[in-house]
């Protein structure tokens, strides 16, 4: 990873914002890299106007209505931008007070899953909440856009809960896939998790190469100074991970994410989503 790349914290005006900023600050300090706070304003906000715009109207009235709607839209846009500016400045002050040495802010209009791929060229790590403002109304356990956001980028994504707790012990869900093997190399070469004990967990159906692969992963991490324990668990991975988080007292989960197409997920469900739902701790998703 390049030293000039940053941690990008994706925030919206929900209860997750401060937690996202705090986790991004924690990551940026450990990697000694700049961080940026990104707020994406919905290009098409839900209209709250109660006027009745239906029915047949004359040409002049139609032109007046279009101008009125345009003026209202411009007013809403300016107001959203100003609210967003104050919101970001507050989070920036919070991050600086916590020791982040460079904190930039950015506002964009559009959709998050379309914006992040454009920005990922100079990003080392994305940080976002497990849920956001849209999920608060539905009480979903995961934000509806989380999967699509993670699928839209090829950099690690740290999905966090609504309260910050500095990670002290890591659970690595190792399945022997190329993504999780590459993730071992990434962790070994990055300062992000340096000094934190790691518990390697392989769960699910027995794999012929499983014992060899997890032992190799352990050797790679121990070679650069990590304290590593490991476990091979037969049974449902989501259940095994939830149990290991508690029994090993882990407060950060690392795992591969969304290796199958979104269309397969639509019909068959997603193991990644199941695992995210089973673990209430922050989760580093590898792509």
* Domain(s) of CATH 3.40.50.620: residues in the chain: 6-45+80-160, 170-286
Q: H or E segment at 35?
A: strand 35-42
pTM of the shown model: 0.82
Residue 144: predicted pLDDT: 58
Residue 57: predicted pLDDT: 58
Q: Does domain 170-286 have CATH number 3.40.50.300?
A: no
Ranges of the chain with pLDDT below 70:
1-4, 43-62, 65, 67-73, 131-145, 258-279
- Provide the token pair at 281: 């701790």
Rg (the chain; Cα; Å)? 22
**Per-residue b/e over 27-40, b at no fewer than 16 CB within 10 Å?**
bbbbbebbbbbbbb
Question: Of 195, 198, 196, which Cα lies nearest the Cα of 184?
Answer: 198
10 Å Cβ neighbour count for 52?
A: 6
Residue 95: predicted pLDDT: 97
Phi, psi of 81 (to 5 degrees): -65, -40
Average pLDDT of the chain to the nearest whole number = 82
Helices 271-278 and 237-247, packing angle to 10 deg: 30
CB-based contact 272:147 (threshold 8 Å): yes
- Provide the token pair at 169: 């012990």
CATH pick for 6-45+80-160 out of 3.40.50.620, 3.60.21.10, 3.60.9.10, 3.90.700.10: 3.40.50.620
Condensed to tens digits (0 to 9), the pLDDT of residues 128-144 reads 998 655 544 444 444 55
């Amino acid at each position: 990873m390049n030293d000039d790349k940053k941690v990008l914290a994706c925030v919206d005006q929900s209860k997750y914002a401060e937690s996202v900023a705090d986790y991004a600050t924690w990551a940026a300090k450990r990697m000694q890299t700049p961080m940026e706070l990104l707020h994406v304003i919905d290009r098409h906000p839900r209209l709250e106007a109660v006027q009745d715009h239906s029915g047949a109207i004359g040409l002049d009235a139609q032109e007046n209505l279009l101008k009125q709607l345009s003026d209202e839209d411009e007013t809403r846009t300016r107001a959203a931008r100003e609210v967003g500016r104050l919101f970001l400045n507050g989070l920036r002050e919070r991050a600086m007070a916590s020791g982040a040495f460079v904190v930039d802010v950015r506002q964009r209009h559009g959709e998050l899953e379309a914006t992040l791929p454009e920005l990922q060229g100079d990003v080392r790590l994305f940080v976002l909440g497990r849920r956001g403002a849209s999920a608060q109304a539905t009480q979903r356990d995961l934000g509806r856009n989380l999967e699509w956001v993670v699928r839209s980028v090829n950099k690690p994504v740290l999905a966090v809960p609504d309260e910050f707790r500095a990670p002290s012990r890591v659970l690595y869900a190792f399945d022997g896939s190329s993504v999780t093997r590459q993730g071992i190399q990434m962790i070994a070469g990055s300062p992000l998790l340096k000094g934190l004990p790691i518990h390697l967990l392989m769960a699910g159906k027995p794999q012929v190469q499983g014992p060899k692969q997890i032992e190799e992963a352990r050797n790679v991490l121990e070679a650069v100074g990590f304290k590593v324990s490991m476990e091979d668990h037969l049974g449902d991975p989501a259940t095994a991970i939830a149990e290991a988080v508690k029994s090993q007292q882990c407060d950060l989960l690392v795992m591969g994410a969304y290796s199958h197409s979104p269309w397969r997920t639509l019909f068959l469900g997603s193991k990644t989503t199941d695992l995210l739902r089973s673990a209430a701790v922050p989760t580093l998703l590898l792509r």
